[in-house]
Amino acid sequence: MTKARSLRERPLHFMLLPAVIIVLVFSYGPMLGIYIAFQDFSPAWGLFGSPWIGFGNFTFVFGVPGFFQVIWNTIFIAFLKIIGMIIVPVFFALLLNEIKHDRFKRLMQTLIYLPNFLSWVVLAGLLIDILSPSTGIINQILGTFGIKPIFFLGDRFWFPLTMVLSDIWKGFGFGTVIYLAALTSIDPTIYEAAEIDGAGRLSQTWHVTLPGILPIIVLMSVLSLGNILNAGFDQIFNLYSPQVYDTGDIIDTFVYRLGLQQAQFGPATAVGLFKSLISFCFVSLSYFLAARLVNYRIY
Amino acid sequence: MKRSRFTVQQIFTFSNYAFFILMAFLCLLPFINLVSLSFSSSSAVTAGEVKLWPIGFNLKSYEFILKSGKFVTAFLVSIKRVVVGTIVNMFLTILVAYPLSREKKDLRTRTLYAWFFILTTLFNAGLIPWYMTIKFTGLLDNFFALIIPSALPVFNVIVLLNFFRGLPKELEESAFLDGASQWTTLWKIFIPLSKPALATLTLFCSVYHWNSWFDGLVLMNNPEHYPLQSYLQSVIINPETFFSSSAGKGGDYQNLIAFVSARTAKSAQIFIAAFPMLLVYPFLQKYFTKGLVLGSVKG
Amino acid sequence: MKSGRRGYALPAILLLVSLSGVHSLFAAGGTDGKTVAPGTNPSAAVPAGPFGKYEPAITVTSVRYIPPIAAYRPGDDINVNVWTREIEEKLGIKVKYNWVIEQNQYQNKLNLTLASGDLPDFFSCDAGTYVKLAKAGQLADLTQAYEDYASPDLKGAMDAFPAGFNSGKIDGKLYALSAQYYGLPGLMDAIWIRSDWLAKYKLDPPTSLADVEKIALIFMKGESAPNKQVFGISLNRDLYSVVSNMVGISNAHGGYPGIWIKDAKGNIVYGSVQGEMKKALETLARWYKMGLLSQEFGVKDIDASNADLVSGRVGISFGAQWNGWYPFNDLVKKDPTAIFRPYTIPSLDGKPAKLQAPWPVATYWVVSKKAKSPEAVFKMANLYVKYQFHGTEAEFKNFSDGGEYAVQRQLSPIDPVIDPRSEDVMSQGVANALATGDTSKLNVPARVFYENCLLWTEKQNADGFGRYSQQGPEGSYVAIRKNIAMGVQFTELQGADTPIWAKNRAILDKLEKDTFTKIILGGASIDEFDSFVQNWKKLGGDAATQEINDTYNKK
């Protein structure tokens, strides 16, 4: 039995082999360069000529005033985004599922995915315009309800929320499409059974639909947890300003402003290493949680 | 008893449709703005006047970009990259997803392999080690430098392996009893059943290859080897970078200024870059509806 | 088992195919392209003189960015063009680029190339890089080659700005050739004001900062309408940007942000932490409170502040001398009467302000220690300086394509090497010619400028506006010369950033910008400035100051 089993196993190893080689060379190879994080690195000196400074880069970056606030901001914003990126697409998927007109449904699916194609450089200009407290449309609309103009991009309180909401607007199409596909794959007989049992539409949604797509929700959440410390450099970089650094600065923008990204490879790699370790912890944690609690292996 | 004119159901449906029309418009908004900018005169754009339709309609930006022979060369490089890159990506994705989707008893080192791949998404040593690895393998200035280092998209693998797991166990069991090898099972059973998922992942790969620009710029030594997005990046001067560059400050500004065509050209560039994907996406969309998630949904 | 054996054939084939494919992938097209085959530079004696031709021709390698303006002749590109042909023909030097890349990514790619140890024969880089390379022993000592092979014109260009030339030396040895710069007025700012509004409200140009305030208020009141909010002075969130900045305003108060200056005792100190900046910030905070500055300036980037200028929401901006090219050009295109004109930045007391000037040299030319013909760099530079600044009509036409003379020069493998004497002289000639109509004394590049200006003065063609607003008789150069007459606050940091400053600079700049913005917005009182200074000193400012004095203030 064992021989047969290992005979069956061997082709699997062969299948994995090409990818393993490529990944080994091109993903693990560069990882050796992580020791730049411990060097006072300059391109002029190269990898072998740059002096070793141990944890010097780490103490340098962590010692900059405000760094810990920045970490907090990052986690706060990223966390809200992850939650938002689950609730909103699921909500839209549920609504979209109710639409019976097939063509309209498909058209909507296409259209809501569109903002995803654009980069933040483009969207930033538009957003700054719309959200302006003096000339922007949003505030004009709020004005007709008697609400005073809100400086969305310049107010410490509103800025993080604005970032979360605008990012959701940009990206919800992606999640919606996925959840919608999941919805359509739920066995219709379960719905029929629920209806026979007397469940109304809302009750059906709560008891049939949501549990039905729970695994995919868990999968998407875990996958995005790996990004917990990437609260969205492109977006925030194009929209923030000194007035909102307090609450809007995230690790990557902070690092960028310190010029670390451009010129100081040592500290930049150190920060990258730090982020990777945190992501690793989060992903491992969520993997085990998902496996234990929901009995669901992500990979 | 007075009958209300509309049932709750009808009100709900009506507002649902209305809601989506509003959302669709909001999502279309940036595109309308973008296209208008690209066809407008630079004065109107700098003055911030262009919102939903072009002001000072002209085709200058498009001419500027399209009339160059280099555009055609770069376009062809991109097509080649998308085709070859997607094939390589899908080939490796399938070869990795299948073994990883097997039970532990069928592949004992499964978890080890899984973590081997996952870790590469978490740890990254930065630009210099990446570049040096590619240089070391002799791929600099070679078309395949755009394909091989990113040959295995781990996210896609995770999606596909979940999908494979969801296929009915009876199929593979009966194939096994019939004496089919792993390869046959994969080729004759799993792949034909996975068409929707494969189509979706093919789209993701294509979009990735189509949109990449940084690797093309940095790894190629000559503009003839640039894919389209890299070429487009090089053609448009970004005013912000110009103004903060040494040219802007040191007085070496003369000619650059005359050509800071700024946002009109940039908008045209973005639109040209996104356009093919926008055409392709709706067609592939119909595969999504059953797409990715069949496997993850237990029902 | 039969099927088992059959089952192995397919994967084996696949594996072989993929392996062989991979091998050929690595072999095919993976030309190194970086090393020059040995033997191409014969060990013949170097031809004498600044323009001596190499026979037989030698090949030198370089790398460069692709100039965004590509006025190529048909069939030419960055690798083969007017300049490369001329250099080969006249000097016997073949230039081969290991790579070319678009401008924004040049620094990135250069860093990667240096990190992998692949220096080309010669290339351009910034001060910080060249110092590190020299200290690591990677650069050739050019002192003797300069003496022997630099032409009199090139030496003249170097002597015209000795600080620049000397910044390329370490311990007296020349390791980098400074690209120099275009002369003082090019580095400095003017105050740009809507001249049509001045006329409309019958106002004279400002002679003091108080005048500026008055003018701003009148513009604001006069131009505002129910649906159009107009404010007085343009400022964007960058504070020191090339348009809508606070530099000129600071200079008016005697403050010099962002540069190093000498204090009364002769020590070098940082401008941003001196007491005069406090006064400048007080004024700005007061202006903000009055509504003279846009209430949203803190989020406006340069695009947004340009939009205000070009759409008539503000009529005053402190900015670079070349702003007539951008963004004011765009306004004139829309409305030929909406003209922003440059005026002399005034100080508090009615005299022109003493303005600051940053370190102007951004590019240094270096030669790798392994290069076989290091002097080739000077010969190419000689040729460049000759044609660009001292050429005959025929030579000039050939290399400028008759039009804007800078277009073709960007194709030269060594570009730029600027003669600091040139543009000032040219602009004075052009201003005179426009005023008097006498064009006899104009040299070739000046004549190009002149004709460009005529496009505006005679035909109201916006394409000529930029040049006219600089070199015309009412241009920024004329306005700035009045400031220069009061002296120039040139930075004392004349070369590469010193290590502590380089490392901490970003942090200190961030602290500075954050604090200044908060003070102007009224989010912090003016006394915040004092605690800022204390912090600045603690966070590395004092250490940097000490180091800079040690390097640049040797008495």
Identify whether residues B130 and B235 lie together within a single domain: yes
- Domain final residue pick, B58, B81, B108: B58
Q: What is the pLDDT of residue C388?
A: 80
Q: What is the mean pLDDT of residues C473-483?
A: 92
CA distance B274 to chain A (A): 7
Q: Please, which pLDDT band fits residue C277 given cuts at 50, 70 and 90?
A: very high
- Rounded to the nearest 5 degrees, what angle is found at the Cα of A168, between the Cα atoms of A163 and A173? 155
Please name the residue ranges forming H helices in C339-391: 376-390
pTM for the full predicted model: 0.81
Q: Which of B78, B63, B25 is nearest to B264 (CA)?
A: B63
The boundaries of the domain holding residue B26 are: 22-58
CA terminus-to-terminus distance, chain A = 27
Q: What is the mean pLDDT of residues A75-104?
A: 87
Q: What is the mean pLDDT of residues C209-228?
A: 92
Q: What architecture is the C186-358+487-494 domain classified under in CATH?
A: 3-Layer(aba) Sandwich (3.40)
Annotate C111-140 with three-state secondary structure: HHHHHCCCCCCEEEECHHHHHHHHHCCCEC
Q: What is the pLDDT of residue B240?
A: 52
Q: Is the dihedral of CA A202, A206, A209, A213 positive or negative?
A: positive
Residue A289 or residue A26, greater confidence:
A26
CA distance B296 to A182: 8
Q: Chain C window 178-197: which residues touch B at a Cβ cutoff of 8 Å?
A: 181-183, 186-187
**Has residue A182 been placed in a domain?**
yes
Q: What is the pLDDT of residue B238?
A: 55
Chain A within 8 Å of B246 (Cβ-Cβ)?
no
Pair of tokens at residue C109: 């790619």
At C184 the three-state DSSP class reads helix
Q: What is the pLDDT of residue C375?
A: 92
Option in A22, A32, A109 nearest B151 (CB): A22
Q: What is the pLDDT of residue C98?
A: 94
Helix (H) or strand (E) holding C95: strand C93-102
Q: What is the pLDDT of residue B107?
A: 82
Q: Does residue A48 have a pLDDT over 70?
A: yes
- Domain final residue pick, B58, B80, B110: B58
Identify whether residues B82 and B225 lie together within a single domain: yes
Q: Please, which pLDDT band fits residue C439 given cuts at 50, 70 and 90?
A: confident
Q: What is the mean pLDDT of residues C435-457?
A: 84
Q: Does residue C21 have a pLDDT over 60?
A: no
Identify whether residues B93 and B124 lie together within a single domain: yes
Q: Please, which pLDDT band fits residue C13 given cuts at 50, 70 and 90?
A: very low
Identify whether residues B182 and B267 lie together within a single domain: yes
Q: What is the pLDDT of residue C216?
A: 96
Residues 6+ apart with CB under 8 A from C458: none
Which chain C residue is nearest to residue B242, measuring alpha carbons? C104
- Domain final residue pick, B58, B78, B106: B58
Q: What is the pLDDT of residue B292?
A: 43
Q: Which of C163, C123, C150 is nearest to C139 (CA)?
A: C123
Residue A71 or residue A127, greater confidence:
A71
Chain B within 8 Å of C24 (Cβ-Cβ)?
no
Query: Cβ contacts (< 8 Å) between A14 and chain C: which residues?
Result: 11, 15
Identify whether residues B94 and B121 lie together within a single domain: yes
CATH of the domain at B152: 1.10.3720.10
**Has residue A282 been placed in a domain?**
no
Q: Does residue A21 have a pLDDT over 60?
A: yes
Question: For each successive 10 residues of chain B (299 residues), what is the average pLDDT?
Answer: 68 86 84 83 75 82 74 90 95 94 84 90 84 91 93 89 82 83 86 80 84 86 87 64 46 47 70 78 64 42
Q: What is the pLDDT of residue C85?
A: 92
By percentage, how much of chain C surpasses pLDDT 70? Answer: 90
Interchain CB distance below 8 Å, C30 and B140: yes
Q: What is the pLDDT of residue B45?
A: 75
Pair of tokens at residue C166: 């000397």
Contact call for residues C336 and B45 (beta carbons, < 8 A)? no
Helix (H) or strand (E) holding C355: strand C355-357
**Has residue B12 been placed in a domain?**
no
Q: Does residue A222 have a pLDDT over 80?
A: no
Q: What is the mean pLDDT of residues A98-125?
A: 78
Q: What is the pLDDT of residue A260?
A: 59
**Has residue A207 been placed in a domain?**
yes
ipTM computed for the complex: 0.79
Q: Does residue A252 have a pLDDT over 80?
A: yes
Q: What is the pLDDT of residue B296?
A: 42
Interchain CB distance below 8 Å, B218 and C101: yes
Q: Does residue C536 have a pLDDT over 90?
A: yes
Which chain C residue is nearest to residue B182, measuring alpha carbons? C7
Q: What is the pLDDT of residue C74?
A: 76
Which fold would CATH assign to domain C58-181+362-409?
D-Maltodextrin-Binding Protein; domain 2 (3.40.190)
**Has residue B284 been placed in a domain?**
yes
By percentage, how much of chain C surpasses pLDDT 90? Answer: 52
**Has residue B273 been placed in a domain?**
yes
The boundaries of the domain holding residue A181 are: 65-257
Q: What is the pLDDT of residue B298?
A: 39
Q: What is the mean pLDDT of residues C173-195?
A: 92
CA distance C507 to chain A (A): 6
Chain C within 8 Å of A19 (Cβ-Cβ)?
no
**Has residue B10 been placed in a domain?**
no
Interface test with C, best of A21, A25, A45, A261 (most C CBs within 10 A): A45
Q: Please, which pLDDT band fits residue C211 given cuts at 50, 70 and 90?
A: very high
Q: Please, which pLDDT band fits residue C467 given cuts at 50, 70 and 90?
A: confident
Option in C102, C334, C358 nearest B43 (CB): C334
Residues 6+ apart with CB under 8 A from B69: none
Chain B within 8 Å of C299 (Cβ-Cβ)?
no
Q: What is the mean pLDDT of residues C14-33?
A: 32
CATH of the domain at A97: 1.10.3720.10
Q: What is the pLDDT of residue C410?
A: 80
Q: What is the pLDDT of residue B299?
A: 36
Contact call for residues B140 and B221 (beta carbons, < 8 A)? yes
Q: What is the pLDDT of residue B3?
A: 57
Q: Please, which pLDDT band fits residue C1 given cuts at 50, 70 and 90?
A: very low
Chain A within 8 Å of C115 (Cβ-Cβ)?
yes
- Lookup result for tokens 């004005």: A143
**Has residue B80 been placed in a domain?**
yes
Chain B within 8 Å of A115 (Cβ-Cβ)?
yes
Q: Which of C226, C135, C178 is nearest to C377 (CA)?
A: C178
Chains linked to C by 3 or more Cβ pairs within 8 Å: A, B
Map out the domains of chain C as residue ranges: 58-181+362-409, 186-358+487-494, 422-482
**Has residue B9 been placed in a domain?**
no
Q: Chain C window 457-476: which residues touch B at a Cβ cutoff of 8 Å?
A: 466
DSSP E strand boundaries for A124-172: none
**What are the pLDDT digits (tens) for C115-130?**
888 899 999 999 989 9
Identify whether residues B134 and B264 lie together within a single domain: yes
Please name the residue ranges forming H helices in chain A: 2-23, 29-31, 46-49, 56-63, 67-97, 102-113, 120-131, 137-144, 158-184, 188-196, 201-204, 210-225, 233-239, 245-248, 251-257, 265-293
As a whole number of angstroms, the longest Cα–Cα distance in chain C is 103
When divided into structural domains, chain B yields a total of 2
**Mean pLDDT over the full length of chain A:** 83
Contact call for residues B58 and B41 (beta carbons, < 8 A)? yes
When divided into structural domains, chain A yields a total of 1
Q: Does residue C191 have a pLDDT over 90?
A: yes
**Has residue B289 been placed in a domain?**
yes
Residues 6+ apart with CB under 8 A from C263: C269, C274
Q: What is the mean pLDDT of residues C357-367?
A: 92
Query: Cβ contacts (< 8 Å) between C360 and chain B: which residues?
Result: 249-251
Identify whether residues B32 and B174 lie together within a single domain: no
**Has residue B4 been placed in a domain?**
no
Least confident of C33-42, C55-64, C86-95, C501-510: C33-42
Cα–Cα distances in Å, from C282 out to A108, C207, C288, C539? 54, 20, 10, 24
**What are the pLDDT digits (tens) for A152-207?**
888 888 999 999 999 998 888 878 877 877 777 677 788 888 888 887 777 888 88
Identify whether residues B91 and B212 lie together within a single domain: yes
Identify whether residues B206 and B292 lie together within a single domain: yes
Chains linked to A by 3 or more Cβ pairs within 8 Å: B, C
Altogether, the residues listed in chain C come to a count of 555
CA distance B288 to A180: 9
